[in-house]
Amino acid sequence: MKQAAPLTITNAQLVTPNGIEYGAIRLAEGRIAALGAVSAAPGDHAHDARGKLVTPGLIDFGVFAIDKPALHFGGITRAALMPDQSPMLDLPSRVSYIAKSGKPDLWVHPLAAATRGLEGAELAEIGLMREAGARGIATGRRWIADSGIMLRLLRYAAMLDMVVVTHAEDGGLVGDAAATSGEMATRLGLPGAPAEAEALAVARDIALAEMSGARLHIRQVTTRAALDLVRAAKSRGAAVTAGVTPAHFMLSDLETQGFRTFMRLSPPLRSEDDRQAVREGIADGTIDLIASGHDPRGPEDKRLPFADAEPGMAGAETLLASTLSLVRDEVVDHARAIALLTSAPAALLGVEAGVLATGMEADVAIIDPDKPWIVDTDRMAASAGNTPFDGQPMQGRVTALFKGGVQVGD
């Protein structure tokens, strides 16, 4: 899918790293040719943004399924795929196949399995998977308990200049827990794990990352104690970044009281104090990016007792609107909100996208930040509608999406 003719999007609020600039953007040969006070050239196609936001296409860092309709609905033009697939992304041939999938209207960036079968016992063929197209290394839904193996992984990753994406929960403490230990878990009779399981995992992984000089990305940081550790590591100059999903800055463990399995997540929902700490971490830059954690689960996984249901949420469609709620709540401004969804994940993946700048790839979204809609699990584009936001009013929708200068769904 090659751009047939240049496209100029006019009457736009361009969301750039410097803030919002009013003007136009010209896309030619799959790249951003110019932006600002530019006009359509003879032969250009024209698209009137009607004063709406124009942003880079969203980059979703760490999805568990390539659910193209849902991703496009959410304005996502690139997605980093976690290695927890069937079969696992622990061989170069599998990584190569995934790296070629999705194109031309969605680019998939595979994250290679850190260990064979994600068992945490033996390092996978990371160098060969890098050559096959892996953009990072991930421990998947699990934490590597063996510190010796984790250190070897981080040293290898540092040599290859690849980011290591880790799941931060000490498995020995979490076990089969379905909730965070505390009043709610006790009242509901749910098996709980202490919130400290996250802080312990984060502390160890940061220490090993500093020993090895590797780049470490903690996929979800959801507790105040763990956020304090990340904040301190950054102040020391450690190459540590942190992410979170909207559920953990919008919901607390109070939502589990109805035993609704759409609230069964990993990590589980936390206390209200931890939720507020996540919002503070987004505001002060401790949290670098927001990802959907898109993990569609069908009835066979969710229509079970709460403790037996599989964790996960279909998050691609609500990622943008959830993040824009932070702007309305004055936690961040538009430029920062969009950066959390674009330039930050692009930097981790090392791709020429995520910023509206001349020469960057022409992945562009037009967004109406005020457009109201209601999340309806029965009408979602995802292959399964297991969203914790079912029935919730949202604001903010993508009205047009372009990949490489070509309109998606046109």
Classify residue 50 by burial, with Cβ atoms within 10 Å: 0-12, 13-18, 19+: exposed
Helix (H, G, I), strand (E, B) or coil at 335: helix
Cis preceding linkage at 87, omega within 30? yes
pLDDT band at 41 (very low <50, low <70, confident <90, very high): confident
* Whole-number pLDDT of residue 410: 61
Q: How far is CA 226 from CA 210, 221, 258, in A?
A: 16, 6, 28
Torsion of Cα atoms, 145 then 149 then 154 then 160, to 10°: -140
Q: Which CATH class is domain 57-353+372-391?
A: alpha beta
**Whole-number percent of the chain with pLDDT over 90:** 91
Report which of 375, 367, 374, 371 is spatially closest to residue 395, judged by C-alpha positions: 371
Q: Give the separation between CA 119 and CA 142, rounded to whole angstroms.
A: 8
Which tokens belong to 215?
A: 């780049």
Residues in the chain: 410
Sequence spans of domains, the chain: 57-353+372-391
pLDDT band at 67 (very low <50, low <70, confident <90, very high): very high
Q: Which amino acid is at 367?
A: I
Q: What is the mean pLDDT of the chain?
A: 95
Q: What is the pLDDT of residues 116-140, one digit of tens each?
A: 999 999 999 999 999 999 999 999 9
Which tokens belong to 160?
A: 């290859």
pLDDT band at 210 (very low <50, low <70, confident <90, very high): very high
Mean pLDDT value of segment 174-179: 93
Report the range of poorest mean pLDDT among 162-166, 205-209, 356-360, 376-380: 376-380
User: pTM of the entire structure?
Assistant: 0.95
Distance spanning both ends of the chain, measured CA to CA: 12
b/e code 32-44 from CB counts within 10 Å (16+ = b): bbbbeeeebeeeb
Q: Which residue has the tokens 């040599």?
A: 159
Instruction: Judge contact between 391 and 250, C-beta under 8 A.
Output: no
Instruction: Judge contact between 409 and 6, C-beta under 8 A.
Output: no
* Whole-number pLDDT of residue 44: 87
* Whole-number pLDDT of residue 80: 98
Pairwise pLDDT comparison (172 vs 380), residue with the higher score:
172
Helix (H, G, I), strand (E, B) or coil at 217: strand
Mean pLDDT value of segment 325-342: 97
pLDDT band at 2 (very low <50, low <70, confident <90, very high): confident
* Whole-number pLDDT of residue 1: 64
Mean pLDDT value of segment 213-226: 98
Q: What is the pLDDT of residues 268-317, one digit of tens each?
A: 999 999 999 999 999 999 999 999 999 999 888 999 999 999 999 999 99
